[in-house]
Amino acid sequence: MRLAFPHAILVCLGGDRNKEEQAMVIHFVRFKTRLAQEEVRRIMEERAPRFRSEVPGLMQKYYGYEPESGAFCGCYIFDSEESRQAFAQSELARTIPAAYQAEEVRVETYEVLFPLYEEALQQAPQQARHTR
């Protein structure tokens, strides 16, 4: 039996958060392309260093592929909505559809409620935790 999951992911984070502390945000980008899986992965790996160095507040990014539909995704974890919005306005974000010759693109955003594993927060990249 194959379990069906929605295309958007709702990951949660938070707990007893200080009111002044900004909520972490999930930015989910799903796309389809006619490019071969190997070519898409090559482009992802080629662009990854830019995400590491040019996106303040990006704590993690996961790259995914769904064989059944042929869709690819990027699941970004930002330290705040402010960081996510800055990324969404960036040249790097605007070039995603063209870089992958995307035919269908869907973007979704979620406020993180709480994490399953608190320890994962402690391991977030230093640059993301100390921006803005």
pTM, whole model, 2 decimals? 0.77
In this structure, how many other beta carbons lie within 10 angstroms of the beta carbon of residue 16?
5
CATH of the domain at 102: 3.30.70.100
Q: Are 51 and 63 in contact (CB under 8 A)?
A: no
In a domain, 7, yes or no: no
Structural domain for 77, as ranges: 25-121
In a domain, 60, yes or no: yes
Q: Which of 124, 32, 123, 30 is nearest to 83 (CA)?
A: 124
In a domain, 130, yes or no: no
pLDDT of residue 126: 58
pLDDT in tens, 25-54: 999 999 999 999 999 999 999 999 999 999
DSSP class per residue in 55-83: -TTEEEEEEEEETTTTEEEEEEEES-HHH
Number of domains present in the structure of the chain: 1
